[in-house]
Chains A and B, each alone.
Chain A
Amino acid sequence: MDFYLPIAETAANIFVFIGMGAAVGFLSGMFGVGGGFLITPLLMLTGIPSAVAVGTGAAQVVASSVSGTIAQYRRNNVDFKMGLVLCAGGLIGAVFGVQAVSVLRSAGQFDFFVSLSYVVFLGSIGAMMLAESINAIRKSKSGRPTAKRRDTHDGLIHALPWKVRFHRSKIYLSVIPPLAIGAFVGLLSAIMGVGGGFIMVPAMIYLLKMPTNVVIGTSLFQIGVVTALTTVLHATSNQNVDIVLAFLLMIGAVVGAELGANAGQNLRGEHLRFWLAAIVLLVAVRISYDLIATPVNVYSSSFTRETP
């Protein structure tokens, strides 16, 4: 069944997009990632103009993170205090990110830089998580309980001032590391057009030593706030948010997110991390393939609506 999308300016089969939303929503509910790094490339594959794909992808992520946050909140898996600190950092980072985007655009290599950031960050984080989770799975299979590393002295991180107790995460930590992580992710998400969950989740697990379950709920909360802001920014500055397309994706995504959250509940933390690592690496491989492989057509073209 076709529907004409008012902003994307093309007709599209609604079931394709509901299904796409559901698939991405499932992963986002399961792993606590917004799914922006999946939905935006998928939309472009189906012929949605790239600008509209970025703006609408952000709107879709809002819905799946709200649904995911509520599902996680019911299981008491959201550390709102930590989430707000991350958001504060994220806003600072996003401001600098927007500046960086205009600099890169004028240099003419914006697309390449985005692809490269995807490969570098997805690749390194994915590889790191994969190695760690395989190690953890092996350890748990061999019967030895995994050592609780939460209270080890991470010299530098624990020497920082302004320590705050994050009750839900069961950590006592300076606000500086989460602010810095939030800012870094905010910077990247402005450049890459994603919520940044795939960076946020490992950072919280490995740097802040938060429990995996709480990480997922908190990450979803933070992503929801950041992408809501991003959506409004896209709508006002580029008019590239297609509310009809977003609606179709959301319908699929919220159902998928709920199913994903339930599926994730039955998985152990190290298994969750393993599968997230596998998906992240897959996307990294796919993007690097595009960078390296000889393109079918070395030319590409795009119309700009308004003549400058």
Chain B
Amino acid sequence: MTRSQDNPKDRVPFRSPIRDLFRSIQIAGLVGLTTIAAHAQAPSATTPPTPATPVIQPATPPQPSSPPQTTYRLETDISMRAIPIDVRFSGARVVIFGSASQMGPPPVNAGPINVVAIIQGAPAHLTVRRKTNAWGVWLNTRSVEFEQAPRYYAVVSTRPLEAVAKTSVLAEYGIGFEHVPISTTLNQAIGLGPIQLSEFRDAAIQLGIANKQYVRLDGGLTFVGKSLFRGQIDLPATVPVGQLDVSVFLFRGGEVVARHENRVTVARQGFEHFVYEFAHRQSLLYGLVTVALATLIGATASVLIQLRRGG
């Protein structure tokens, strides 16, 4: 698929039902918060690997005895769990929202709280080619095959990523364009030094950005009150069909203290689903139908114009 621009002008307006949904879930989220506060000791099922170590407190030396730990809870949801692709689909606006709360004694000098969300489409095989000038003409002379590159990648954060955490931390969680999981096997990169390989990788990301398939929104998430946050993102019409994984990270003082996963399914509906399945499952018949349609349209137009002219 050649990379290209889509039209940003034509977007679906933010539909009020979604807003209503968001409101209702936001209220539900608040109710959920109070429930959490009541069951502060209950083990969290929704926060997988929380770092076992306490939050780093640079100002104070490590305590020999184990004080009551501060635990963080992050709960998030998406305004649309399923995005239907119908004939009028020209992109979708999704709202990411959630609550971040902490339990236990408030840590001293723990640093700022930040939230980062990553929306990622299923990975696919990506070929990046480079042209060089040979004998006056530009030829594709080098290419690198990346076996795994996300077909969509958006990173939305409360602050610029550089201010959220160190590169090493961001790299660990695949946050930011520098750490998008784009991989290649060694035999594909034979004869390419690491610098050249990273040039191809950077080019892939730049093309993705130009194409709105790779998106970064610093400040796209904002806190609404003390623990609630929200942000929105416009998915382009070219959003890959299938599953989008939404990972939300809660940072405190530059470390991930909680994480929550969500999933959005982009699926073809009705006519779109029918045509796609037809083209892929009964391709011969589909081809014949296309030719028949072409012949019919061609003949009909000819007859109609003849009738009009003939009177």
Contacts and interface: CB of A to CB of B under 8 A. Distances in A.
Contacts of B299: 66-67, 70
B279 A302 contact: no
A63 B295 contact: yes
B4 to A, nearest CB: 3
A7 B147 CA distance: 23
Given A4-B89, A49-B2, A300 B137 contact: no
B90 A4 contact: yes
Contact of A9 (B125, B241, B302): B241
Given A47-B4, A250-B297, A2 B90 contact: yes
Given A11-B89, A109-B139, A111-B140, A250 B294 contact: yes
A62 B290 CA distance: 9
A297 interface: yes
Contacts of A292: 136-138
Chief secondary structure at chain A's binding surface:
helix
Contacts of A65: 298
Contacts of A270: none
B1 interface: yes
Contacts of B4: 44, 46-48
Given A74-B306, A301-B3, A304-B127, A235 B286 contact: yes
A59 interface: yes
Chief secondary structure at chain B's binding surface:
mixed
A64 interface: yes
A108 B141 CA distance: 9
B86 to A, nearest CB: 7
Contact of A258 (B133, B207, B271, B305): B305
A171 interface: no
Contacts of A247: 293, 297
Interface string B258-297: 0000000000100110011001100110111111011101
26 contacts: A2-B90, A9-B238, A49-B2, A50-B1, A60-B294, A63-B293, A64-B298, A67-B298, A108-B140, A109-B139, A228-B291, A232-B288, A234-B287, A235-B287, A239-B279, A241-B279, A243-B275, A250-B294, A290-B138, A297-B203, A297-B207, A299-B130, A300-B140, A301-B127, A302-B3, A303-B126
Interface of B: 1-7, 10, 85-91, 124-133, 136-140, 143, 147, 149, 151, 200, 203-204, 206-208, 237-238, 241, 268, 271-272, 275-276, 279-280, 283-284, 286-291, 293-295, 297-303, 305-306
Given A235-B290, A250-B293, A303-B126, 19 more contacts: A4-B237, A6-B272, A46-B4, A49-B2, A59-B290, A63-B293, A63-B294, A63-B297, A108-B140, A243-B290, A250-B297, A254-B301, A291-B138, A293-B138, A300-B3, A300-B207, A301-B208, A303-B125, A307-B147
